[in-house]
Amino acid sequence: MASEPSSPADNDSCEGDDLEDVDSAGEEIESVGSGSARKRVSARTVLTGRGVTMAMLLSDGILEPGDACLSIDYLGQKFVGDLLPNGKIKWQGSNRVFNSPSAWAIHCKKMVNPSKKSGCGWASVKYKGKKLDIYKTIWFRKQRGANAPDRHAKARQALSLSGSFRVKQDVKERPSVKHTSLGSRDPDHPQYTGYKDPNTLVEYSHFSALGKMQPFTMSITTNCLLLMDFHCHLTTSEVVGYLGGKWDPASQHLSILQAFPCRCRLGDKENAIMVEEEIRQGMMLRGLSLVGWYHSHPHCQADPSLRDVDCQMEYQVAMKGLGATYQPCVGFIVAPFHLTEPIVESTIQAFWVMPPPEHKPHEYGMPMSMNFTAIQDSYLTQDVVNEMKWVSDYYSGAPDFLFFKEPWHQDKTFLEKVKGSLAKKLPKDQVSGQLLDFVQSLLTTQQGQEKHTSR
């Protein structure tokens, strides 16, 4: 969101590479056709989806040409297009022909928002009501073959404590190191202790142990915690989002009021620009400021990695302002799955980074555990309901979308695990559990649709 630091959505995931790639925004190149042209597609394309074209999906029977079968919904406006037999897209609004989904998507979006510079057509364009991302996933699944190894099977195994994905007895949480053991970043410094993997987890330090007070107080709404927890349960891959709220300089209190999930993959720099701009506008419309970010650790505990520490430090520097304009920024880590014990509720940890002393600039920042108060909302907002629909729709159909009907521990499914964790964060008007029924319907219906489509 801030321009100075790198976005967390731009960083490579410490949990592994992402599956979906995007076209270059607005790039109108000829689609790869059939025959000898298709033979030039590398083996890597089959595994990642990079270079997959509409023509290839048509040739393999995933899609069929037709009139008005393609659509884009953007900021309240709908665009309709025809899928031509050669894989190109004819926009009914002007009869203009586009060579790729991204080219059509960015053209339409620029008409509504002239500042739009990039966009992912595969995530924006729908074929008969379903995003093209789903059909791309079906295509490369078929290319790998029904018996090919699923790159996320190991991840699902690591998240389950029983059933067909039973965890081996030697599964343990990743060890975290103490900040004092990190030494210096500078190889020429006498306290340099060698290269540090940016995925190294670091134990939190506590202000009380250092004889200090927490620099500011914090509160977060249960609606915000609810949406964060829901988002982080959807996939075996790491996710990220932003936090909107308000800072009161008089009381030195930070109020975190709303979560904004990023509907893009970690490392997807082009699409991150579009997603972050939409989130920025959403915060402005609601009178909120950017006050923090969150991300998940689906395969390890909620301790920050060195990459997390550096990212948080960059945000603090970019947002701190001067004098009376100072505003803090905090990070949250959500660990939805405890790898060795059947703990239903996710671990949610807030942190802040204490910068190294001025006379020791080569030291690593120190991650500090931040205490916060959860404020129960009176009612569930429409914003939360909408975001739950959109974010679950984004991951639905992807290979790393969790199989919610499968066993998590003994006779409990992943769905029951999710509902159990969310039950601790319900607003006051949800005593009868309508939201949990909605969650069950949302996740199981989408799972069923995805399996039906894949046939």
15-60 confidence digits (pLDDT tens)? 333 333 333 333 332 233 333 333 333 333 333 334 578 888 888 8
CATH (domain of 217): 3.40.140.10
Say if 2 falls within a structural domain. Answer: no
Q: Is the dihedral of CA 82, 83, 85, 86 positive or negative?
A: positive
State the Cα–Cα distance between residues 451 and 454, nearest whole angstrom. 5
Is 26 or 323 the better-scoring residue by pLDDT?
323
Query: Using H for helix, E for strand and C for coil, what is the string for 141-167?
Result: HHHHCCCCCCCCHHHHHHHCCCHHHCC
The answer to pTM > 0.75 is no
Is pLDDT of 135 > 90? no
Separation CA 113–CA 118 (nearest Å): 11
Q: What angle do CA 408, 413, 415 make, to 5 degrees?
A: 115
Our count of domains for the chain comes to: 2
Of the three residues 144, 175, 209, the one that is the final residue of a domain is 144
Check whether residue 129 and residue 63 sit in a common domain.
yes
Same-domain status, 55 and 157: no
Single-letter amino acid, residue 355: P
Mean pLDDT, rounded, for 153-158 = 58
Domain co-membership, 122 together with 217: no
The H or E element containing residue 345 is none
pLDDT category of residue 154 using cuts at 50, 70 and 90: low
Mean pLDDT for 183-193 is 84
Q: Are residues 97 and 162 in the same domain?
A: no
Is 120 within a domain?
Answer: yes
Q: Are residues 157 and 139 in the same domain?
A: no
Q: Do 60 and 156 reside in the same domain of the chain?
A: no
Q: Do 158 and 139 share a domain, yes or no?
A: no
Report the distance separating Cα 251 and Cα 232, nearest Å. 32
Judge if 293 and 354 occupy the same domain. Answer: yes
Residue 409 lies in a domain: yes
| pLDDT value at 167 more than 90 | no
Longest Cα–Cα distance in the chain: 71
Domain that holds residue 203: 151-455
Question: Contact 413/405 with Cβ under 8 angstroms?
Answer: yes
Mean pLDDT taken over the chain: 80
One domain for residues 284 and 164 = yes
If you count them, how many residues does the chain have?
Answer: 455
Assess whether 320 and 260 both reside in one domain. yes
Contacts of 257 (CB under 8 A, 6+ apart): 221, 224, 244, 245, 246, 288
Residue with the larger pLDDT of the pair 71 and 92: 71
Instruction: Decide: 72 and 124 in contact? Cβ < 8 Å.
Output: yes
pLDDT at 362 over 70: yes
436 and 396 within one domain? yes
Same domain, 48 and 184: no
